Structure 1
Amino acid sequence: MAKEQIKVVVCGDDGVGKTSLIACLVKDQYIPNLQDRLSPVTIPRDFSSSPFSPKASVLVDTTSYDLPQLHYELKSADVIWLVYSDHESYDRVALYWMMMFRSLGVNLPVILCKNKCDTTLHGSEGTHAKDINAEDKASENTKIEDEEFIPILREFKEVETCIKTSAKDKMNVNQAFYLCQRSITHPIAPLFDPRVGELKPLTVLALKRIFLLSDKDQDGFLNDEELSVLQRRSFGKSIDTQELQFIKETLLNLSISPQEYANYILFVPGKGITKDGFLVLNKLYSEKGRHETTWGILRAFHYTDSLSINDKVLYPKMDISDSASVELSPLGYRFLVELFLTFDKDNDGGLNDQELAFLFKTTPGIPKLWTETNFPFSTVVNNQACVTLQGWLAQWTMTTFLDYRTTTEYLVYLGIEKDARLALQVTKARKKRRRNGKYYRAPVTDRKVFSCYVIGKPHSGKSSLLESFVGMSFSESYTPTIRPRIGVNSLELKGSKQYYLILQEFGEQEPAILENVEKMKECDVLCLTYDSSDPESFSYLFELINQHQHLQNLPMIFVALKADLDKQQQRCYIQPDDFTDQLFVDHPLHVSSAWSSSLNELFIKLTEAGLEPAKNTPGLAPDTAREEVDYWQYALVATSAVGFTSLFTFTFFKLFRSLRSGST
């Protein structure tokens, strides 16, 4: 983003032409006989300028007579335009001015300007002007400039560049001002170290990442099409054919010349520019003062002046209410599918460790959230323990649901070109309804991802349930769960609608999680498990629900695990079926890891409980309105039955009397 305004402080010995330079820049003409110092001048940005140019620049004229004011202006400056004009003022650049800047603690870019070069060109006194032709004179001037500029550039890293100017001839005045702006908008210091003549390490890392992201077919070369795409992204226009050919020839010549690049492959005809060639190309830009080209590339990939990616891009602000959730949008899923297919080099339908490492090469590494949740075994893997496309999408779905900032961060690192927020969508806030004096969650219509907490006594089978959920085979060995575990997978419900379910068990943290009311609000459905073959197992749930009354505000599904073993009578104040009847929820579902159909039924039921919370929320007796309808239906039937009985009795009585009278 462009800096709002930059402050350029013009300083130097009195009489070097500072005021004339400013006046010439503003009026576009030489103005003689100016006052000693001009008031600050504001120059608005030209609409044709780069979008990274400041909206305005303020030029501040100074004089060495007022040192306190000079020091004040220097301390509040963004860039220093240091001017000298003769041998005496040149000597004071190193001996006085640069020392002053350092003593003030001013670490700013300095643009060194040799002014009054009109006298140099034409001869201040006309000496030898007729004896030296123009070409020889230009060559002599260049040599003089090199002798003056190079020692300063080598000694003072603050000096970014040097230029000669003339206010009288309007020579390079605009260019000098542009260099001042460019030192802020496109600083050379973060990119290139002129003392060793190399790109700085952070620049190399950033450019390597950009090369990898731009190499769409991942063949190690930037072909013409990939270069054109990079050009359009960086500068908004296609690369010129002649310029492209010039770049290729330059790199090819450097590769075959007996110089520093002779051992590097920079360009391969028919394939494209290599990574080394891309780095060398940007090094040449910096050496030749064209580092704004490199900055154009870096800024297109959201790099800041410190060569870190902009936090506002990595973590864009999103408006999310407390009870809403964040999911991937179709754009997000499409990007992740394309990413998976690109890096599945062996086309086996899974990403192995090497493919994953290469995929995450443009990022800080596999997300911390993933390593903490035992990826890839938190989702679906194939027989070689490689994450499948189904598991890949499920893992990102879970990541987005639990911490969407990680998703936006990694989407940017992985090269999404659009705003990362477009890859996400925010669901509506949960609504509540009331029945029989109890509030409960309303049915869900816009969510595809649901979070389920798996709660139960240790050894009840929670871990095996999670492993079965992600397709892992059942193991007889038992390992107590210490740290939290998580599993995510997709499910298909009636109507071919796809949903994602996230199962979590908390190990030793379970008591603390259950006491945390705010944490429990993040849960969509509770899966309350007990071992049906262990008579002591259900009492844990009974005590838990009575101890934590807030759990009864959530939908819950009771599950009797290990149903393939002999069922035991529970040693509890109340049996599971009777307890669920009291809560007005379904009886426990009997499940076994050996019965795949029962597992699928459970996972679907958990998802449906997230979609329609009322059906599984404790304490909700049948709907009162429905009871009233049923009552009147029963009353009508009863009335009809009574009426029919009365009519039948009356008719039978009359018939009986008539028969009796006849017999008499």
Structure 2
Amino acid sequence: MNLEQVMAPIMQQFREIETCIECSAANLVQVPEVFYYAQKAVLHPTAPLFDHETQALKPRCVRALKRIFILCDHDMDDALNDEELNEFQIKCFNAPLQPAEIVGVKRVVQEKLPQGVNDLGLTLTGFLFLHALFIEKGRLETTWTVLRKFGYNDEIKLKDDHLTIPFKKAPDQSLELTSEAVEFLKGVFSTFDTDKDGVLRNSELDDLFSTAPESPWGETPYKDAVKRTPLGGLSLSAFLSEWALMTLLEPAQSLANLIYIGYNCGAASALRLTRRKSVDRKKQQTDRNVYQCFVFGPKGSGKSALLKSLLERPFSENYAATTDEHYAVNVVDRLGGTKKALVLREIPEDEVKMILSTKESLASCDVAVFAYDSSDEYSLKRASELLMTVARQGEVSGFMVPCLFVAAKDDLDSYPMAIKDSAKICQNFGIDAPIHISVKEGDLNSMFNRIVTAAEHPHLSVPETEVGRSQKRYRHLVNRSLMFTSVVAAVAVVGLTAYRSYAARKNTSS
């Protein structure tokens, strides 16, 4: 029984085995071939490109090749003509195709797959077929050369050096999409909204991201973070909100997906770096378009209901404790016709200590909301403790944030001292009186506009603890003492100089 008879059933069962070769180091039989195939398996692996079980290109490979096809289809007629094929060949392999070779390529495709070629040239179907044919014939280096020329790594994602963000970001700065990038996204939305109903259905959204490795919004934190239509579609506002959230949380991921769907103007024109919050506080204003609000509160205080109300979802009586962080983002209309994106980040009570464990934990927070059940005395007490924790963290770290106290479930009867107790807490911290809301009754008391207003004025509604006030008074005292000492020293120096001048004149006159 020869080697092929032994290995054929094994290779049939385990299709991931690419090569079987008989060799002998002692007799120097096919030793170079072993190293050749080993090197080939590392440099041009089959697994990322081809599924042996289905005998088809893998989805991520198809998506990458589709993007490459679109980039090469300069006249956007859904086919690569002879000139476009030649440009593609030169870019990837540094050598043009002869006319006879182009005809031969088309003939091979047309014989096997008639729809792979039309009167305009090689279609996407034919382009994908060619690469599947190369792989089946063991010419994986051809497909890998194409992918790498267009910036893909071994995971068939764009390499990091194609996604360099040319900004050095401080902890209290954020990245936002530029107006140029937003206009590009509006154009993309219009292009893929094939039925022109102002909504991207799931199928249209899948088509939009068909040139990306996968849809970026299929998992948390993006999956359930925006307002959707009853059929699960996205309006233009929700579409841009998803992009705003992704740019805030993962700017490199946002840039990558912009490039995947056709943006080719570079990171500097796609992203803008916001001003430091410490500067915003001094200037008493901010130029941001996206605000992130941390939502704190004890269990059962209505945090999740607040996030859902931002997305205009109906109130539900069913309660389930939140164990993980959740995000919600929507556009808030402001006076004068301006629009701001508001991101609510729900912080589970059990996660507060862990989240605040680092000095920079509040650096990304523009405003903090502390929700409590207005009918529950313990809920108010716990919310005030959380406010104290966050306020002190801000004072220690230097990342102070405006804070709002929110009396949720205002439709329920409050306990006798609720209003007096909550007002006293706010007074003690030096922040505005509680905002009373009832998500159940749809009475939000301009809640989201108030959050944006607080974020727009970062020097106001910043809580102070007694420790913070004492330290502030001490610093003022020290500064005044230093100033007084400086003045005294200056007077002494002037006096001494005058005396020396007087003594010198007196000696001269003598």
**TM (normalized to structure 2)?**
0.68
Residue 438 of structure 2 corresponds to residue 592 of structure 1: yes
CA offsets, 1:502-533, max 9 Å, x none? 11112232343245442123211111112223
Determine which of 550, 575, 583 is the counterpart of 2:393. Answer: 550
Paired residue for 1:384? 231
Contact kept, 8 Å, 1:442 with 1:613, in 2: the verdict is: no
Paired residue for 2:315? 474
- Greater CA radius of gyration, 1 or 2? 1
Aligned-residue offset at 1:382: 1.2
CA separation in 2, counterparts of 1:322 and 1:333?
A: 24
Contact kept, 8 Å, 2:64 with 2:156, in 1: the verdict is: no
The 5 Å alignment of 1:175-254 reads: 206=61, 209-212=64-67, 214-215=69-70, 223=78, 247=102, 250=104, 253-254=107-108
Contact kept, 8 Å, 1:536 with 1:571, in 2: the verdict is: no
CA separation in 2, counterparts of 1:281 and 1:245?
A: 17
Contact kept, 8 Å, 2:371 with 2:408, in 1: the verdict is: yes
Cα distance change on mapping 1:514 and 1:310 into 2, 3 Å: closer
**SS class of match (1:502):** strand
The 5 Å alignment of 1:40-439 reads: 107=35, 206=61, 209-212=64-67, 214-215=69-70, 223=78, 247=102, 250=104, 253-254=107-108, 257=111, 261=112, 263-269=113-119, 272-280=121-129, 298-299=147-148, 301-303=150-152, 309-316=158-165, 318-367=167-216, 371-373=219-221, 375=223, 377-431=224-278
Contact kept, 8 Å, 2:192 with 2:208, in 1: the verdict is: yes
Residue 301 of structure 2 corresponds to residue 453 of structure 1: no
Aligned-residue offset at 1:455: 1.2
Cα distance change on mapping 1:222 and 1:209 into 2, 3 Å: farther
Cα distance change on mapping 1:295 and 1:454 into 2, 3 Å: closer
Paired residue for 1:603? 448
Determine which of 507, 526, 541 is the counterpart of 2:383. Answer: 541
Aligned-residue offset at 1:560: 1.4
Contact kept, 8 Å, 2:60 with 2:156, in 1: the verdict is: no
CA separation in 2, counterparts of 1:230 and 1:430?
A: 51
Cα distance change on mapping 1:205 and 1:518 into 2, 3 Å: closer
Amino acid at match of 1:480: A
Aligned-residue offset at 1:485: 1.4
Paired residue for 1:527? 369
Contact kept, 8 Å, 1:450 with 1:524, in 2: the verdict is: yes
Contact kept, 8 Å, 1:350 with 1:386, in 2: the verdict is: yes
CA separation in 1, counterparts of 2:215 and 2:135?
A: 33
Contact kept, 8 Å, 2:64 with 2:213, in 1: the verdict is: no
Determine which of 420, 429, 433 is the counterpart of 1:583. Answer: 429
Contact kept, 8 Å, 1:558 with 1:589, in 2: the verdict is: yes
Contact kept, 8 Å, 1:430 with 1:442, in 2: the verdict is: no
CA offsets, 1:309-332, max 9 Å, x none? 322114546421222111111232
Compare relative contact order (CA 8 Å, sep 6+) and give the higher one, 1 or 2.
2
CA RMSD, Structure 1 to Structure 2 (Å): 4.6
The 5 Å alignment of 1:607-622 reads: 607-619=452-464
The number of residue pairs the alignment matches comes to 425
CA offsets, 1:398-429, max 9 Å, x none? 11111212212323333433324431111122
Aligned-residue offset at 1:244: 8.5
Amino acid at match of 2:258: L
Contact kept, 8 Å, 2:333 with 2:339, in 1: the verdict is: yes
Aligned-residue offset at 1:604: 1.2
Aligned-residue offset at 1:469: 0.3
Amino acid at match of 1:446: D
CA separation in 1, counterparts of 2:202 and 2:156?
A: 29
Paired residue for 2:20? none
Paired residue for 1:634? none
CA separation in 2, counterparts of 1:395 and 1:252?
A: 42
**TM (normalized to structure 1)?**
0.54
Q: Which runs of 5+ in 1 are unaligned?
A: 1-94, 109-155, 160-186, 192-199, 237-241, 434-439, 622-664
CA separation in 1, counterparts of 2:343 and 2:325?
A: 13
Contact kept, 8 Å, 1:536 with 1:570, in 2: the verdict is: no
